[in-house]
Structure 1
Amino acid sequence: MSLDSALVIHQLKGEWETRDHKSVPYQAYIKKLIEFFDDISFHHIPREENQMADALATLASMFQLSPHGHFSYIEFRCCGKLAHCCLIKKEKYGKPWYFDIKRCIKNKEYPQEASDNDNEGWWPASS
């Protein structure tokens, strides 16, 4: 897909001609959308570097905007680590964060603070 996306970028910039008749309507639609922006630029990003594009595509699929409505700005802050890593406690009582999970899987032994609901129905009955 990397070559396909590079091709589309060059076509949108007017550097290459669009020959595939199936791409012409999409290109025309994008050119109409461009009119709604004060400033826009297109850049090809290699597949291994497109995590931000994937995240934005996911975000865009979650809500609908009107082209004539008010657009709010989205602010991004770069973090040194992945967001889910910030939620993991490094150690609990001198043991690694995964200690309870490992013990539960290995020994079928739940933490003492687990409720009856937590314990119920997890392991198959002994035969």
Structure 2
Amino acid sequence: MPDNYKEWPEKIPFTLWGYRTSIRTATDTTPYYLVYGIEAVHPVELEIPSLRILLESQVLEANWIQVRYDSLVMLDERRLNALYHVQLYQKRIESAFNKKLKPRGISEGDLVLKSVKALLPIDPRGKLKPNWAGPYLVKKILSGGTVHLTDLDENDFTNPTNLDQLKKYYP
């Protein structure tokens, strides 16, 4: 950790090295491996050789070239595997997010209230301004949670509204 803000430029390369050589949860591999097709040699491994370094140092050059070529051929498969891990990770995140969602129970023809977003940076009513406007009539629900609304005089809104900005109105 730097002691003051002037030391950050010297620390950035070490931070990036740590980021690029640590395993990401989403891909189950390191970004360095996905780019170069081989795991990075950490500076500590040069001083205190690891088993991997010792084994590679005893391999003949022709064998090392063949192993390296084979690993580069398999790199596309490893990248596809990382892509599958990303997709599985996204599904896990989505399911965790969707557990917290509450079904709104809004259907076409229902009366709803719409959340009011502040158009002006300063509202003279302050915290006493209304949070909901309406009631409005749900004209059509599209895929992805998009809703077309009309007011009670059958005047259509020009822009669709997101379903999560609505709540059911009970007269």
Q: Report if TM-score (shorter chain) is over 0.5.
A: no
TM range, smaller chain:
under 0.3
Q: Which structure has the bigger radius of gyration?
A: 2
When normalised by structure 1's length, the TM-score is: 0.26
Higher strand share goes to which structure? 2
Q: Which has the higher contact order (CA 8 A, sep 6+)?
A: 2
When normalised by structure 2's length, the TM-score is: 0.21
